[in-house]
Structure 1
Amino acid sequence: MERHNTEQKLPTHLYRAQQVRELDRIAIDQENIPGFTLMRRAGKVAFDTLIDRWPEVDKITVVCGVGNNGGDGYVLATLAMQRGIAVEIVQCGDVKKITGDALQARQLALQDGIGSVDFDGERQLDRGVIVDALLGTGLSGDVRDNFAPVIEWINRSQCPVLAIDIPSGLCSDTGRVLGHAVYADQTVSFIGFKQGLLTGSGPDYTGRVAFSDLAVPKAIFQQVVATSQCLDFDELMAALPPRQSTAHKGDFGHVMITGGDSGMAGAATMASQAACRVGAGLVSCATRPEHIPAIISRCPEVMAHGVISGQEIEPLLARATAVVVGPGLGRAPWGEQLLQKVFKLSVPLVIDADALNIIADGRVVKQPYKDNWILTPHPGEAARLLGCSSAEIQQDRFAAVAELQRRFGGTVILKGAGTLVADTETATIGICPYGNPGMAAGGMGDVLSGILGALLAQGLSPAVAARLGVCLHGRAGDIAASSGQRGMMATDLIAHLRQLVN
């Protein structure tokens, strides 16, 4: 999998399928751009993307459905034939259902002498590139039985695949697989970028991602409000201005990391180290007394305090400007007492790991709602908070993060491939386009919590801290992965944080 591997900067505004159809309608009806013109542009962009990715291709098999996605495929087939590349159309579905622009594109392809055969499942694909122009974004439910064998045939072929607009069978709104989906090596999306390409199962199926707005007027995008936003690290870094020459440590806040029950010193240590590297003026750690030597030896800049009860942590919390609670906290009475004290604070909070699980239990924190905290659940923790299954969370991550934010307030980060951020400051849900499978390792969430705490301590709002924090975390992970994804450790990220925040 080459997740979001593209030299092209992805668009900021992301849409649901119905919104993209509305953008398409506005371009045709209000801007007087013929639908067939848009189809020809899409086919040309798709063909150019294919040639850029596989310049030595000598055969192209275009798998076409009966809608406009198939129409884009017919245009691509015509362009391939004109370039002298061997090309064949594999037609799926009843050709009598092809109408409008797609029918015109098909007729032109056949007039140019391109061969078209009906799908029968027997044909062997042994070379060249397959173009998935089967279903597009029009699916309203699971892939029907007559198309499922086509998708499985494509996936069995071992040939590289270019998906036009979206891999067939992938939900463009949620990133959920609708029963069956094409595994693409390259996806090229048009007019409005579909939010499902970047989260859920999307990153497993899209391969590299490219985008074109098909040269439609910018004004049409003002008429349809995007539902989500692709976060941009460089833009978000503007929230951290250069430091003044007269700055001192008190200007950059005091983070208190709270956690590290018996046997879990590492989580609190990693969070503390990350907070130091992201620029907090002071970093303290309240943990089990036996962990003090390990933390100090690892990071002597951290002021580590041993506490054995909630009462002992109160004077330490009074000094903090931001508090992280959860890394290695555990769910025993010790962790519950610390969380209870932290929850009473008015300073910004980061709630992670077992602090989320304690809240989900509903015993320690009776009314878990704050405007100035950041909750950082992974799908399992999110499921416990909402009283459902992890699978249900992953079915529609956008709905899940929105419901978590509505129910618990503040800012919510739903971790995973295509991490989502929901808050009250921003009208759209943020999607982090950074990160990689090498980050599927213990301790990564602890590093993120430390990053978030440091950003809060430096005066960023929870919403801005969350959006910048997940991008900083993902970018550090991508740099660390340059040496290979397998075997990455959470501490590998920490060395890159200082570079990135500068």
Structure 2
Amino acid sequence: MNHLPDALYTPEQVRELDRRAIEAHGIPGRVLMARAGRSAWRLLRRRFPGARRLMVLCGGGNNGGDGYVMARLAADAGFAVELCAFADPAGLSGDARTAADEALARITPMDFSPERLDSADLVVDALLGTGLDRPVAGAMAEAIDAVNARPCPVVAVDVPSGLNARTGQVMGVAMRAALTPTFIGLKQGLFTGDAADCVGEVVFDDLQVPYAVHDAMPPSARLLPREALSAALPRRPRTAHKGDFGHVLVIGGDHGMGGAVRIAGEAAARCGAGLTSVATRPAHVAALLSARPELMVRGVEAAGDLATPLARADVLALGPGLGQAEWGRALFEAVRDGDRPMVVDADGLNWLAQSPARRDDWVLTPHPGEAARLLDSDVADINYDRFAAVTAIARQYGGVAVLKGAGTLISDGRDCRVCTEGNPGMASGGMGDALTGLIAGFRAQGFDALTAACLGVQVHARAADRAAVDGERGLLAGDLLDMLRGVVNP
């Protein structure tokens, strides 16, 4: 994506920002609408210079008004414009009615027909705005399906129609845009969940509203800025030694799952932990030492065998390959209430869901299925509102929660961060183990839990993006590990 501000807002907050611009700073609503339409039109011209035949789909409200502004500008520029109104223009009011009247003085509207798309170079989607709160149905749903079935690129004004701008969930059906120009404030739903398949490139324009409009309006969430790694990971002091960077202990790897702790351990070491140990089944010790001799590996048959490695560790990574048998349960219970900060993932989270506890010094890293178990819910509810889910986990269990997926969310129950880096190649076994090790490794180096989680998520995603240069399909966690050293030395 292009450079974006990091502040995100709910649709309700953006409407309040819009109101402040109009009422407190004297910017007429028609001026803001004209600026939005003109901004989107200019962006369309830059990104799609060869497009000359446009189909503009307009709904009601201000989103439709933005579409009418674009249709008029296109007609004024000599473009062929087919304007399809999905709400009676006569029923519009205020600024949207004015914009519609100006466009319809130049363009005769027509009924939408899927066949008309065959002659369009580009579709402008101004059907539904940020206020959508129920599934799309009827003629609009049919039109969205028809547009999505064709290769014609789509420019979605402010938000792709059908995408919930607060949650990032598709409301039945949603437009798949190539470009989404958005205004006044970035909507949080454009950056997580289903949004990844809908928004294309997001471009922001504040429409020249004064900075004071955003004063006293705390963002609902923030994007992780791309430059965050450079700021947090400067060159190390020349006098540094391994004792300065902490000791991570990875606990897990039941029979047949030794690879999970190897990946987590190597990730912790690769992100800069001074020492990394692994406590796992004795049968895995030789293989782990052979594959990664820098790891210190201890075989544990029972929870009592953890005493020595626990005494040396600064941070625990609990869960990779832990399993759901008695061995895993015993190890989980042995460390759950201890005094070491920890990162909990995989079967560690499954055991936690069965035996809930609360701590302020841990990081929990569930995918939606694990999140559903933690909240005694189901995956559909988690995906319905990922922001609410990650906040609920952090508030119920304490510490920091990381809800993995497209647009990973990180929350301490108060502040929420969103990572837009990463790719679908990360949907493969072992990726979560690598993230667990990374967060533990940063925690061992002295970062607080929220910062360590943010760094781990961003490093994980960026390394995966580098590893996916040759293709996303077939990307393995081991490929990501090979990229880590370059990413953590920005």
8 Å CA contact retained: 2:249, 2:317: yes
Kindly provide the amino acid, as one letter, of the partner of residue 47 in structure 1: W
Question: 1:122, 1:491 → 2: CA distance?
Answer: 48
Counterpart of 2:374 in structure 1 is: 385
Aligned partners of 1:286 and 1:304 also within 8 Å: yes
SS of equivalent to 2:193: coil
Give, as a single letter, the amino acid of the residue that structure 2 aligns with 1:141. Answer: R
| TM-score, normalization by structure 2 | 0.97
Query: 2:394 is matched with which residue?
Result: 405
| Match for residue 406 of structure 2 among 396, 406, 417 | 417
Residue of structure 1 in register with 2:419 after alignment: 432
Post-superposition CA distance 1:111-158 (Å, at most 9, x none): 2x2231133566443331000001111223222434222222322333
Taking the aligned partners of 2:203 and 2:20, their CA distance within structure 1 comes to 23
Is the contact made by 1:375 and 1:412 (CA closer than 8 Å) also made in structure 2? yes
Question: Does structure 2 retain, via aligned residues, the 8 Å contact 1:226–1:428?
Answer: no
> Quick one: distance in 1 between partners of 2:210 and 2:158?
19
Tell me what 1:442 maps to. Answer: 429
Q: Which amino acid aligns with 2:404?
A: K
Distance 1:120 1:483 in 2: 40
Q: Match of 2:261, as an amino acid? A: A
- Give the letter aligned to residue 58 of structure 1: R
Distance (Å, rounded) in 2 between the aligned partners of 1:498 and 1:411: 25
The residue type paired with residue 85 of structure 2 is Q
Residue matched to 2:441: 454
How far residue 173 of structure 1 moved from its aligned partner, in angstroms, is: 0.4
Aligned counterpart, 2:470? 483
Is residue 139 from structure 1 mapped to residue 128 from structure 2 by the alignment?
no
1:179 to 165, 172, 177: 172
* Pair 1:283–1:197, CA change in 2 (3 A): same
Match for 1:32: what amino acid?
G
- CA deviations 1:334-367 (Å, max 9, x no partner) are 11111122213212100010010111122xxxx5
Matched with 1:9 is: 3
Structure 1: any 5+ residue segments left out of the alignment?
1-5
CA distance in 1 between partners of 2:187 and 2:375 (Å): 26
User: What is the match of residue 3 of structure 1?
Assistant: none
1:265 aligns with 2:254: no
Note closer, same or farther for the CA distance 1:54–1:121 as it changes in structure 2 (3 Å cut). closer
Aligned to 2:459: 472
Q: Structure 2 CA distance, aligned partners of 1:192 and 1:124?
A: 32
Identify the residue that residue 349 of structure 2 maps to in structure 1.
Answer: 356
Does the residue aligned with 2:212 lie in a helix, a strand or coil? helix
Q: Distance in 1 between matches of 2:103 and 2:87?
A: 17
- AA paired with 1:17? P
Asked if the contact 1:255–1:322 (Cα under 8 Å) also holds between the matched residues in 2, the reply is yes
Aligned-partner SS, 2:476: coil
The runs of 5 or more residues in structure 2 that have no matched partner are none
Distance 2:231 2:48 in 1: 38
Letter aligned with residue 78 of structure 1 = R
- 1:131–1:162 CA contact under 8 A, matched in 2: yes
- In 2, Cα distance between the equivalents of 1:446 and 1:499? 19
Residue among 332, 344, 352 paired with 1:339:
332
Residue in 2 that maps onto 1:130: 123
**Within 5 Å, which residues of 2 pair with 1:207-286?**
207-286=200-279
Match of 1:69 among 63, 67, 74: 63
Aligned ranges for residues 78-227 of structure 1 at < 5 Å?
78-111=72-105, 113-119=106-112, 123-227=116-220
**189-198 vs 174-183, which deviates more?**
174-183
Instruction: Say which is worse superposed, 404-413 or 175-184, in terms of deviation.
Output: 175-184
Within 2, Cα distance between the matches of 1:126 and 1:87?
Answer: 11
Shift of 1:437: 0.6
Q: Secondary structure at the match of 2:134?
A: coil
Contact 2:114–2:147 at 8 Å: present in 1 too? no
2:54 is aligned with 1:38: no
- What is the one-letter code of the residue matched to 2:369? G
Distance 1:132 1:163 in 2: 5
1:388 Cα offset (Å): 1.1
Quick one: distance in 1 between partners of 2:325 and 2:95?
64
Letter in 2 for 1:137: T
Corresponding residue of 2:41: 47
Segment drifting more, 369-378 vs 474-483: 474-483
**Alpha-carbon distance, 1:448 to partner:** 0.3
Quote how far apart the aligned CAs of 1:260 are: 0.8
**Aligned equivalents of 2:73 and 2:16: distance in 1?**
28
Does the 8 A contact of 1:233 with 1:468 survive in 2? no
How many residues are matched?
489
Preserved contact between residue 63 and residue 129 of structure 2 (Cα < 8 Å):
yes
CA distance in 1, matches of 2:239, 2:57: 64
Tell me which amino acid in the other structure corresponds to 2:402: I
What CA distance in whole angstroms lies between the structure 2 residues aligned with 1:57 and 1:344?
A: 62
Q: Aligned residue for 1:57?
A: 51
The structure 2 residue matched to 1:396, chosen from 385, 388, 393, is 385
> Does the 8 A contact of 1:126 with 1:157 survive in 2?
no
User: TM-score, normalised on structure 1?
Assistant: 0.95
Could you list the per-position Cα deviations for residues 164-201 of structure 1 after superposition, in whole angstroms to 9, with x for gaps in the alignment? 00011110000111122111111111111010111111
The answer as to whether partners of 2:53 and 2:119 remain within 8 angstroms in 1 is no
Deviates more, 1:249-258 or 1:209-218: 209-218
Cα separation, 1, equivalents of 2:306 and 2:261: 15
Query: What residue number does 2:363 align with?
Result: 374
- Secondary structure, in 3 states, of the residue corresponding to 1:166? coil
| Whole-angstrom CA distance in 1 between matches of 2:286 and 2:120 | 61
> 117-126 vs 12-21, which deviates more?
117-126
The alignment partner of 1:125 has SS state of helix
**Aligned equivalents of 1:313 and 1:298: distance in 2?**
23
- Assess if the C-alpha contact under 8 Å between 2:366 and 2:403 holds in 1: yes
Displacement of 1:223: 2.9
In the TM superposition, residue 494 of structure 1 has moved relative to its aligned partner by: 0.9
Q: Which moved more, 1:88-97 or 1:377-386?
A: 88-97
The Cα RMSD (Å) is 1.4
Q: Percent of counterpart pairs with the same letter?
A: 49
Q: Which amino acid aligns with 1:48?
A: R
Shift, 1:237, TM fit: 4.4
SS in structure 2 of the partner of residue 223 of structure 1: coil
Indicate if the aligned counterparts of 1:20 and 1:191 stay in contact, CA closer than 8 A: yes
